[in-house]
Amino acid sequence: MPLAPGTLLNHRYRIVSILGQGGMGAVYRATDIHLDISVAVKENLFLTDEYSRQFQREASILASLRHPGLPHVTDYFILENQGQYLVMDYIEGEDLRQRLERTGPLPEKEAILIGISVCEALDYLHTRTPPIIHRDLKPGNIKVTADGQAVLVDFGLAKILQGGQATLTGARAMTPGYSPPEQYGTASTDARSDIYSLGATLYAALTGVIPEDGLNRMTGKAEMTDLRVLNPKVSRRLAEVIHRALEVDPEDRFQSAREFREALIACSEMAALFRERPTISPPPPDFFGSPEGEMAGNGGQGMRLKSRPSSRRRRKSSPWLMFPLMALIVAGAYIALQLQPNLPQTVLAYFTAPTAYLPVIPSETPFSPPESPTSQPSSEPTPSFEPTSNPVVQPQITPSPTETAVPSLTPTATPLGGGISEIAFASKRTGMMQIWSIGANGKGLRQITNMQDGACQPAWSPDGQRLAFISPCLNKREIYDGSSIYIINADGTGLTPLPASPEGDFDPAWSPDGTRIAFTSLRTGRASIFTIDLKTLAVKEISQSRFADVQPSWSPNSHQIAFVRKIVFGQIWIMDDEGNSQVQFSPNGEFNNFSPVWSRDGQVIFYNQIVGGSKVPNLVGMRYEDRLTYREFRIPANPEVNIGPVGSVSVSPDGFWLAYEGWPDGDNHDIYLMTINGANITRLTTDPAFEFGPSWRPSPQSVP
């Protein structure tokens, strides 16, 4: 259960609002009542040993950093039997994946500026004593703040290099397309691994397409598509720089972040603006009383690999001919800097800020997690981290205008779930399976359908005014031969059939934008995912595989669909809304995964899982950015807590509650409610008849 506004956390931080809700906890905006400043509080509710250690490592790493391109943690604490908490500087901003969703591929100059800024943060990390390797660099982990600063965040997978050896300080995980081959275990990771990931991020930022997976390229299973094939507007010089960063052999990449930075600068026409400021000689090493003092004083030069000198720096001109003019320029620049210290940033922002943004055109192959839907419980943006110092000239990246931020509306206050707080489900309580509805408070039970051959699989329209369902339906099944999809008003009127196939259509899922319904059909001789345009009634097959594909589930932004593909075992896959970019989401293993559903913020996919020969489904979840890893988490997290079987779930409009089918006695199937982390379980229906397939009614206010 998220913390309510007004809650005083650890006797110091008063919760103002929720900024985001994920599978493992929430991020809040709060006020530090001791200092009277706004802060962001990150929460971890899954207190298993591995998640707790990883969260604490992230706190330790961030607390030691002082760089404008990196977040800064000001506090960390544990509340027994509740959770772990990081307290960070709070600033406005959006991450790069959100920017790409909003604008489409970035202009070349803006991508270069982001790359330069992140290289400077990486150079700082890689030259610490001991060096820090981020290992999880991707669009979702780069924030662009309100003042145009790129900030590298999320150090949950970072590792520290001790004595020249890799010391793991975060769980091994890979993000296909962004992770270098060595991160899969082919070799040890080092600073060049972050260079690969930044190259992949810039590739995606310029094209809207994730580059081919590094491990597949190394083993000859794939070849990388030339960046300029996907975006011919990108200069050949920049494409070559990014391709070099993406070499599968670390020896062929840039050997340091500084070298990568210099190459990016050389691609632009602003090299002079990025020349480093003169620095004062640092104190001697014994001033600090330890060898680390030398590293702190000289910026870690002894740890850096040799950078290739810029071709522009090798050009020399006669100092005697230019001396008078240069003396005047230097004197004028010195006076200007004394009067206006921020002049370099101001000039840079003036020359680099685009006059207009690109129109919002979703990529054909979206690669980032979807934006939070309009029914998200807060209008606050995702938090980022305020820089604490400014040791180098920082390029200014155009911040997102406040008016273009993705809107979020607070649902009407209700005891449970937000919005209308009503749940539709299938029940056999009258002897024939029909669609019923009940309030989340257990009141207001009513029958919606009265189909002669039964009805089930209710799916609400995004405005909460209509339901899609299937008939015939006599019992709960995986495949419904001969069924058709119907639409009916919430009050039971206006029954309308959709174009059907005699073989069978089922698993209806309404797109969040209200224009289409995705469903499973047998019309091609096998189970496959189709969509129907509700305006033209045009039907289109999108999954088109030789395997059985069932149970589509839309992402909150209508751009992606999660579904189940049955090869040997059922696994969760993802594709875009046209059927492109099909990738496996859940890990392989001797278990069946089914009934996927997205969290309201699009950061987590929940799904049921049956392991081995068991017939009891559990509920698990996994962050979108952890796809193809083994970082699933169980709900509830504590394995000693047994809540019984959990059938298909539906997320409440405010994103904090789950409705699900449960039968803890092993027999009677009813509808239950619980919080998103598996607590506060409530039995909603008690009829002895079989009941399943809950669908939480959206709030009409959440529809734009």
Asked if residue 660 lies in contact with residue 648, where contact means CB atoms within 8 angstroms, the answer is yes
How far is it, in rounded angstroms, from Cα 433 to Cα 689?
Answer: 10
- 42 annotated as a binding-site residue: yes
C-alpha closest to that of 470 among 478, 458, 481: 458
* Residue 591 CA: distances (Å) to CA of 550, 572, 665: 17, 11, 23
Q: What is the CA radius of gyration of the chain?
A: 27
Question: Can you read off the two tokens belonging to residue 106?
Answer: 């970035």
DSSP alpha helix (H) spans, 255-307: 257-267, 292-298
C-alpha closest to that of 108 among 207, 232, 206: 206
C-alpha closest to that of 365 among 172, 596, 135, 578: 578
DSSP state letter for 246: T
Within 33-131, strands assigned E span 37-44, 73-79, 83-89, 93-95
Maximum alpha-carbon separation in the chain: 100
* Residue 147 CA: distances (Å) to CA of 114, 268, 353, 400, 637: 13, 22, 12, 9, 39
How far is it, in rounded angstroms, from Cα 654 to Cα 109?
Answer: 39
Give every CB contact of residue 36 below 8 A, 6+ residues apart in sequence: none
C-alpha closest to that of 255 among 205, 191, 324: 191
H, E, C per residue of 603-623: CEEEEEEEECCCCCCEEEEEE
> Cβ of 466: how many Cβ atoms within 10 Å?
17
60 in helix, strand or coil?
A: helix
DSSP state letter for 175: -
> Residue with structure tokens 């995986």?
478
93 in helix, strand or coil?
A: strand
DSSP assignment string, 521-569: E-TTSS-EEEEEETTT--EEE----SSEEEEEEE-TTSSEEEEEEESSS
> Cβ of 561: how many Cβ atoms within 10 Å?
27
Q: Rounded to a whole number, what is the distance in angstroms from the first to the last CA of the chain?
A: 27
Asked if residue 374 lies in contact with residue 704, where contact means CB atoms within 8 angstroms, the answer is yes
How far is it, in rounded angstroms, from Cα 470 to Cα 464?
Answer: 18
DSSP state letter for 590: S
DSSP state letter for 432: S
Backbone φ and ψ for 112, nearest 5 degrees, come out as -65, -45
C-alpha closest to that of 199 among 159, 132, 257, 156: 257
How far is it, in rounded angstroms, from Cα 123 to Cα 259?
Answer: 9
DSSP element (H, E) containing 426: strand 422-427
How far is it, in rounded angstroms, from Cα 436 to Cα 442?
Answer: 13
Question: Can you read off the two tokens belonging to residue 177?
Answer: 């397309």
426-431: which pairs have CB atoms within 8 A and are 24 or more residues apart? 426/455, 426/456, 426/457, 426/458, 426/473, 426/476, 426/691, 426/692, 426/693, 427/685, 427/687, 427/689, 427/690, 427/691, 428/475, 428/689, 428/690, 428/691, 429/687, 429/689, 429/691
> Cβ of 458: how many Cβ atoms within 10 Å?
25
**Residues at the annotated binding site?**
42
Positions at the binding site for ATP = 42
